[in-house]
C-alpha cells in the first residue's frame, strides 16, 4: 500500500451524468501512462460530495472493473451521513477494494469524541482497513498528535492521508507511528513531506503529473534532494498554472489533449472558458 496514488478524477457529461467510457480512459491513463501504484477513488478530486450514493457506487464498480488487481485501490467512503458511509464501505469491501478511507466529518463543529465515534462506527460495521483523511483547511478539523494516536491505536486504522502544511505534526506522526501508513496530500509539498519519510502520496495533479511525483518521491528516498528539488520546482510551476486556470477543469482539459475523454465538472462548478481551454492545452504540451 505504499507509493504514488492518484486522487482519481471522474468524467461527467454536460448534464452531470457519469461518462463511463471517459472514466475508464482516466483509469487507464493513470495505470498505463503515469504508472502510479494505486488509485484513491471518490475523493474530493472525483467531485464525490456533489453526487448521489448510487453514482458513487457506480464509480466504484467501474474503477474496479477497469483496474482489476493491477494497482491498489482505496475507496473514499466518508460522508456526513454515517449510514451512507457504512453502506459504501460494505459495498467496496465486497468489490475487494484494498482499503477504505473517510474524510473527517465536517460542517458541524464535531468534538473529538464525536469524530472518534464516527470512525469506530464505520470500522466496527465494515470489515476493511481504514485510512483517515485529514484535510483541516476544508473540514475545519484539526487533530492533535494525541488525538491521532487514539485513532491509530485501533488495529483496523492503518494510516492517514495527511493534507496539511503542519510539517512538525507530520514529523511527530511519523516518529510516533512507524508502522502506520502516512500519505502526503499536498502535491506542491511532496518533497518536504518525502524527506520526513512518508510512505507515499495521494494527489489530484498526479492525473497529469504522476511521473514527476514518483521521481520526487524516489529521489528523496535516495537522499538526492537537489535533483528532487528541481523536479518539485517544475511541478510547482505546473501546479501554480493549473490553480490560476481552474484546478479540476484544467486537469480535465489537459487529459483531453492526450485523448482521454475526461468530460466536464458537475455544477455548481462552472464550465471552463475557451480561453482557459487554450491555456490548458498549452500546459499539456509543455508538461505532459
Would the annotation count 84 as a binding residue?
A: no
Below-70 pLDDT ranges, the chain: none
Would the annotation count 34 as a binding residue?
A: no
Structure pTM?
A: 0.98
What amino acid positions are annotated as catalytic residues?
Answer: 133, 161
Q: In whole angstroms, give the CA distance from residue 100 to residue 90.
A: 10
Residue 195 lies in a domain: yes
269 with 248: CB under 8 angstroms?
yes
Q: In whole angstroms, give the CA distance from residue 172 to residue 149.
A: 11
Give the count of domains, the chain.
1
pLDDT attached to residue 153 = 97
Q: Give the model confidence (pLDDT) of 247-286 as tens digits.
A: 999 999 999 999 999 999 999 999 999 999 999 999 999 9
Would the annotation count 121 as a binding residue?
A: no
Indicate which CATH number applies to the domain containing 145: 3.20.20.70
Would the annotation count 187 as a binding residue?
A: yes
Q: First and final CA of the chain: distance in angstroms? A: 26
pLDDT attached to residue 23 = 98
221: domain range?
3-228
pLDDT attached to residue 267 = 97
Residue 14 lies in a domain: yes
Amino acid at each position: 500500500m505504499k507509493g504514488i496514488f492518484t486522487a482519481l478524477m471522474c468524467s461527467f457529461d454536460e448534464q452531470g451524468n457519469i461518462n463511463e467510457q471517459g472514466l475508464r480512459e482516466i483509469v487507464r491513463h493513470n495505470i498505463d501512462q503515469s504508472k502510479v501504484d494505486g488509485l484513491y477513488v471518490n475523493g474530493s478530486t472525483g467531485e464525490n460530495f456533489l453526487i448521489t450514493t448510487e453514482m458513487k457506487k457506480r464509480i466504484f464498480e467501474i474503477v474496479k472493473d477497469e483496474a482489476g488487481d493491477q494497482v491498489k485501490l482505496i475507496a473514499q467512503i466518508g460522508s456526513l451521513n454515517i449510514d451512507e458511509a457504512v453502506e459504501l464501505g460494505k459495498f467496496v469491501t465486497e468489490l475487494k477494494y484494498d482499503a477504505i478511507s473517510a474524510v473527517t466529518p465536517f460542517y458541524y463543529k464535531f468534538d473529538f469524541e464525536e469524530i472518534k465515534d464516527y470512525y469506530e462506527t464505520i470500522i466496527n460495521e465494515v470489515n476493511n482497513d481504514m485510512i483517515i483523511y485529514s484535510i483541516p483547511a476544508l473540514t475545519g478539523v484539526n487533530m492533535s498528535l494525541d488525538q491521532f494516536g487514539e485513532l491509530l491505536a485501533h488495529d483496523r486504522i492503518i494510516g492517514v492521508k495527511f493534507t496539511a502544511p503542519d510539517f512538525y505534526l507530520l514529523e511527530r506522526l511519523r516518529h510516533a507511528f512507524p508502522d502506520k501508513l502516512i500519505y502526503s496530500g499536498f502535491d506542491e509539498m511532496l518533497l518536504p513531506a518525502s524527506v520526513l519519510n512518508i510512505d507515499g502520496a495521494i494527489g489530484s495533479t498526479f492525473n497529469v503529473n504522476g511521473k514527476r511525483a514518483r521521481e520526487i518521491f524516489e529521489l528523496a528516498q535516495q537522499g538526492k534532494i537537489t535533483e528532487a528539488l528541481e523536479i518539485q520546482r517544475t511541478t510547482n510551476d505546473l501546479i501554480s498554472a493549473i490553480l490560476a486556470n481552474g484546478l479540476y477543469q484544467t486537469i480535465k482539459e489537459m487529459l483531453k489533449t492526450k485523448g482521454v475523454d475526461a468530460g466536464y465538472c458537475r455544477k455548481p462548478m462552472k464550465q471552463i472558458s475557451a480561453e482557459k481551454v487554450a491555456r490548458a492545452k498549452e500546459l499539456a504540451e509543455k508538461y505532459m
